[in-house]
Homo-oligomer: A and B are copies of this chain.
């Protein structure tokens, strides 16, 4: 079974486990998001999903995004061009590496920044709780 299919089924199960109904609009939006290698904004999701389910309404895309984000299944991606697109969330603490050419994203982990955080805490007097780290570059195909 391909990875995206597995993810899709996990999301379906998660919705049901949280008493959400498994409707056609939701399933279609999930199909699009669970199989995308790049972050998509509401309109992009709408256009792709309509190929599979033409009577889908844009409102349902917004509503489904809200639900999926609440369930931590997707996350908003911040980029210089805007912060309105979403991609499947990784479970656990991870960071994104974004291709500036094609938009393809991969997750990476690594908390090599622990010592940096410690130093900054010393110097600033702040107590650090969280960090955002995102790398931008070019994927193999786009180099």
Q: Which residues does A use to contact B, with CB under 8 Å? A: 78, 83, 97, 99-100, 106, 108, 110, 112-113, 115-117, 119-121, 123-140, 143
Contacts and interface: CB of A to CB of B under 8 A. Distances in A.
Nearest to A112: B116
A19 B94 CA distance: 45
A135 B126 CA distance: 10
Contact of A136 (B78, B113, B115, B131): B131
Nearest to A99: B126
A134 B129 CA distance: 11
A109 B81 CA distance: 24
Given A99-B126, A113-B113, A132-B136, 7 more contacts: A110-B119, A121-B137, A126-B137, A127-B138, A129-B137, A130-B135, A132-B135
